[in-house]
Amino acid sequence: KGERLKEYNIIYINGGNPFRLLYFMKKSGADLILRSLSKQNTILIGASAGAVILGPSIDVVQHFSPELNEIGLNDYTALSLTDIAIFPHYDREDVFKEDTGKSIEDRLSEFEEWNNISVTRLKDDQYILINR
């Protein structure tokens, strides 16, 4: 199944549930194929959850939206095609509401401090280009 990825020069990884996306990428072997293709002339595009899984982990998703982990994923290690941790939808307070009233920025700052990591914040109209 994942072998078909080798036929393409550009691969677009859409959003959705990051836990399910990561689980099925690993289960199908697509993660290994994408790692291999990333070292070639293949362009990988990740949107939303697709961008998050290209980084080192989806820990930030577990921090913000643990209810999405319907499949009980325990290993949040992502594809590590970049060492940049992405937080998409940074401008969408409506998506990431919390009972305590803390802003997305407040919660992201806490996450960064607790995990000793820097997270790149992307609004819905922004992107980041990484050349390797």
Architecture of domain 2-121: 3-Layer(aba) Sandwich (3.40)
Model confidence at 2, in pLDDT bands (50, 70, 90)? low
82-121 pLDDT per residue, tens: 999 999 999 987 777 777 788 889 999 999 999 999 999 9
Instruction: Tell the residue number behind the tokens 């293949």, with chain if given.
Output: 42
What's 81's DSSP letter? S
CB burial string 80-95: b at 16+ within 10 A, e below: ebbeebbbbbbeeeee
Look up 118 and say whether it is catalytic.
no
Active-site residue (options: 36, 63, 89, 103): 89
CB 91 within 8 A of CB 124: yes
Active-site residue (options: 48, 65, 80, 109): 48
Model confidence at 1, in pLDDT bands (50, 70, 90)? low
- The encoded tokens of residue 85 equal 């941790």
- The encoded tokens of residue 98 equal 């919390």
